[in-house]
């Protein structure tokens, strides 16, 4: 992508038509509003390779698991967000010739994602077989204000008189490309015409979600030389417009589509609701809807924009990442969560992973009202019973909870044994999110209301998952997979053992605190969960004598037992034609190699950084990073943050660009499957936690800025408890403006300074 993506601070602009990258562009230029979204498929026919995608948040299907052999405890299905009714299909024929960019050579093709206003635009010219040149301009958006609304505007001009037929569809004939058995997930698809409106209704199999879509069209033409005919077909309805277009005359078509789901209304009312919303949009009109869209995005950008002075490539990148995050999740519904691909593709099924807690939560904590981040945590609390069931299926008892690696409704639905049964560190990320939320927001009431029950379930799991080794005379944890998924079924993964100890200690401390501050509420929780004080005794035995693999010669913690038995060849010595290794090596060779997919031990240093001195950070970074291939999208952001911490500015900037432009440059050669939404949240962390060094310690905001040499400044806004702040970082100074909230004491590189309400203060970094 990088060779033809134009660098622009507020836009992603694709110049020229590149058939070999159509699916990549469909991902990059995706649009959404948190409730619905689409890949950037062409409205007109396209006979080339494409992945059609139009998705609704929360509407899923339990696709039957496909495995070579069945193991006890395997999930029976993989939950998938469905490709739903397609509302963007608009076939165009000119004098009988179908406009198909795979069969024609478009001239001056540009595709633009206007991130400032939330618009997808395309413009190009084509010449028909009869020699007529046509200009096409397309604009599409999903409304950030009217959550069920999508709008398309088309303009056509011709160099000579011609007959144009436009066939605009609502189609329920949609499939998921990732269907395990090529199954059609919808049933009872009906379509019809009511007055001037098209409609389609659908219901999912098994889960019984219902949707209704309705479209209205407006034709803008300075003559009445056209006819309109509405009709139905199998699983769809369509509007045919026959237009006699004169030379240099402009034809405009506007399509207003509302898609309503039973997530947000009774099934019996969905069709009427969709009709009403489409009618209202048509009445409001295109110009007003565009103004609404611009105003809504202006409000969002006011809260979350990052301004980088001196590096347009970096500026474009961070805005692209933020834009996709807010297209994916807006936080107004605790039933929803964040899929790794958002609305940009079908890989990973649109389900929830541990990525939300580890990578996305910090972004929403700082850029959105606190109830947005709180909803992400409530999502997990509401699924605690399912997490306990998941643990029971694996043989755990007494309220132990194992949160799923992949889920839609709380049930585990991942079907690879080394993930389903072994990648249990996800429990740690969910527990840490409770700490992270309370530490950042100061909302201590969350612990009593929701948090402690989650921590109890997770701690009970850890307590049962470890056992005492007579040989080592220490507690151990066998048969796990750490964050480095290139290592399966290992013993004593340091990161997993570390998180287990932290969880047990944190839960114990919160129990003691709640017993002291709110004994009545603690008694309620203890009764509900059958908690016994003897559990803490066992936890203390475990945490005081947990085994951690360690190499005294190198003075580093080892990723797991036996790691030093591997041949430690740095990644720099691999030939380029072997990368990425996941595409060139057998799984056997990968498992036996020393190569690390993403931060593992270093992920622990990121979470628990204050437990280790700077020299320890440097030793572990210098040992593990050269062995890391970064073939996970979640890897570069953590390494950028850690590189900043140890003062390796060049590495920090290198990893920032890698994570920030992961999809724009198709670095991992997989953007065709969808964008890496959770990695995008990690990109924001490289700015805030990396270059700004933003931390919250003892209820106070700390900054330790270190911006890249190429940058003149960074500016970004954050919410912190009662305050709304604008932070500006320069080469040797930091400035904080207290836009809203009380007087605030901030620490920068060990120096305290006070920022009064409605005032700003600039101080030197005063680096240690």
Active site residues: 485
Under 8 Å between Cβ of 494 and 549: yes
- Candidates 727, 767, 768; CA nearest to 746 is 727
Under 8 Å between Cβ of 86 and 213: no
H/E stretch holding 505:
helix 494-517
Instruction: Work out whether the CA dihedral 291, 296, 298, 301 comes out positive or negative.
Output: negative
Transcribe 724-749 into DSSP letters.
EEEEEE-SSEEEEEEEESS-EEEEET
Residue owning tokens 């960074």: 714
| 647 vs 615: CA distance, rounded Å | 11
DSSP letter at 191 equals E
Both tokens assigned to 506: 């944190």
| 98 vs 100: CA distance, rounded Å | 6
Under 8 Å between Cβ of 747 and 736: no
CA distances from 697 to 234, 506, 642, 702, 725 (A): 61, 16, 18, 7, 17
| 112 vs 121: CA distance, rounded Å | 5
Longest dimension (CA), the chain: 90
Residue owning tokens 């989650």: 454
Q: Is 18 helix (H, G, I), strand (E, B) or coil?
A: coil
| 657 vs 58: CA distance, rounded Å | 32
Both tokens assigned to 742: 């009380």
| 254 vs 722: CA distance, rounded Å | 44
H/E stretch holding 499:
helix 494-517
CA distances from 396 to 466, 492, 539 (A): 12, 19, 16
DSSP letter at 480 equals B
Backbone angles phi, psi at 179, to 5 degrees: -60, 130
Q: Is 111 helix (H, G, I), strand (E, B) or coil?
A: strand
3-state SS track over 420-467: HCCCCCHHHHHHHHHHHHHHHHCCCHHHHHHHHHHHHHHHHHHHHHCE
Q: Cβ-count burial of 155 within 10 angstroms (0-12 exposed, 13-18 middle, 19+ buried)?
A: middle
Under 8 Å between Cβ of 342 and 321: no
| 33 vs 35: CA distance, rounded Å | 6
Radius of gyration of the chain (CA): 27
């Amino acid at each position: 992508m990088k060779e033809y993506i134009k660098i622009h601070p507020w836009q992603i602009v694709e110049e020229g038509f590149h058939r070999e990258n159509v699916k990549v562009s469909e991902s990059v230029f995706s649009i959404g509003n948190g409730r619905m979204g689409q890949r950037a498929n062409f409205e007109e026919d396209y006979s080339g390779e494409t992945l059609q995608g139009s998705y609704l948040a929360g509407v899923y299907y339990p696709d039957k698991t496909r495995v070579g052999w069945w193991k006890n405890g395997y999930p029976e299905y993989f939950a998938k967000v469905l490709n739903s009714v397609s509302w963007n299909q608009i076939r165009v024929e000119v004098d009988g010739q179908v406009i198909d960019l795979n069969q024609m050579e478009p001239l001056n093709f540009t595709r633009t994602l206007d991130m400032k206003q939330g618009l997808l635009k395309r413009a190009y010219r084509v010449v028909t077989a009869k020699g007529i040149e046509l200009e096409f301009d397309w604009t599409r958006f999903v409304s950030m204000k009217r959550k069920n609304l999508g709008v398309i505007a088309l303009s056509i001009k011709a160099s000579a008189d011609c007959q144009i037929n436009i066939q605009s569809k609502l189609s329920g004939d949609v499939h998921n490309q990732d269907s395990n058995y090529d199954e059609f997930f919808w049933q009872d698809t009906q379509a019809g015409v009511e007055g001037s409106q098209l409609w389609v209704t659908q219901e999912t199999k098994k889960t019984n979600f219902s949707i209704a879509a309705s479209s209205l069209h407006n034709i803008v033409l300075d003559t009445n030389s056209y006819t309109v005919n509405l009709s139905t077909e199998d699983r769809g309805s369509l509007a045919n417009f026959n237009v006699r277009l004169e030379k240099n005359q402009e034809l405009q078509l506007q399509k207003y589509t509302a898609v309503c789901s039973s997530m947000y209304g009774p099934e019996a009312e969905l069709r009427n609701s969709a009709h009403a919303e489409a009618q209202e949009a048509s009445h409001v009109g295109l110009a007003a809807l565009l103004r609404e869209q611009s105003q809504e995005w202006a409000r969002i950008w006011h809260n979350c924009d990052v301004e980088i002075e001196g590096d347009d490539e970096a500026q474009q990148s961070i805005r692209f990442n933020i834009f996709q995050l807010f297209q994916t999740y807006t936080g107004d519904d605790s039933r929803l969560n964040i899929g790794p691909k958002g609305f940009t593709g079908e890989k990973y099924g649109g389900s929830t992973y541990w990525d939300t807690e580890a990578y996305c939560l910090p972004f929403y904590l700082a850029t959105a009202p606190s109830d947005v981040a709180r909803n992400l945590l409530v999502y997990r609390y509401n699924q605690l019973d399912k997490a306990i069931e998941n643990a029971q299926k694996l043989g755990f008892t007494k309220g132990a909870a194992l949160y799923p690696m992949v889920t839609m409704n709380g049930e585990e639905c991942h079907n690879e044994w080394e993930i389903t049964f072994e990648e249990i560190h996800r429990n740690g990320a969910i527990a840490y999110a409770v700490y992270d939320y309370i530490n950042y927001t100061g909302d201590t009431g969350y612990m009593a209301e929701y948090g402690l029950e989650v921590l109890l379930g997770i701690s009970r799991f850890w307590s049962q998952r470890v056992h005492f080794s007579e040989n080592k005379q220490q507690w151990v944890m066998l048969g796990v997979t750490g964050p480095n998924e290139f290592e399966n079924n290992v013993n004593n993964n340091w990161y997993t053992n570390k998180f287990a100890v932290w969880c047990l200690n944190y839960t114990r401390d919160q129990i003691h605190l709640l017993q002291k501050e709110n004994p009545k509420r603690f008694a309620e929780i203890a009764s509900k969960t059958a908690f016994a004080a003897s559990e803490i005794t066992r936890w203390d035995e475990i945490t005081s004598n947990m085994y951690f693999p360690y190499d005294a010669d190198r003075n580093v913690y080892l990723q797991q037992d036996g790691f030093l038995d591997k041949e430690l060849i740095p990644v720099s010595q691999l030939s380029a034609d072997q990368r990425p290794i996941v595409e060139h090596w057998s799984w056997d060779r990968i498992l036996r190699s020393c190569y690390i997919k993403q931060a593992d031990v270093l992920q622990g240093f990121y979470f628990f950084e204050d437990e280790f001195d700077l020299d320890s950070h440097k030793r572990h970074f210098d040992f593990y990073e050269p062995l890391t291939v970064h073939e996970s999208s979640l890897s570069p952001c953590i390494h950028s943050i850690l590189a900043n911490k140890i003062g390796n500015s060049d590495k920090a900037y290198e990893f920032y660009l890698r994570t920030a432009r992961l999809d724009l440059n198709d670095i991992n050669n997989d953007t065709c499957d969808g964008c890496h939404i959770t990695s995008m949240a990690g990109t924001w962390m490289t700015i805030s936690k990396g270059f700004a060094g933003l931390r919250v310690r003892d209820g106070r905001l700390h900054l330790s800025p270190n911006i890249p040499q190429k940058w003149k400044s960074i500016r970004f806004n954050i919410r912190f408890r009662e305050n709304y702040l604008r932070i500006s970082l320069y080469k040797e100074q930091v400035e904080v403006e207290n836009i809203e909230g009380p007087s605030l004491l901030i620490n920068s590189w060990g120096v305290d300074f006070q920022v009064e309400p409605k005032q700003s203060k600039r101080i030197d970094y005063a680096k240690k």
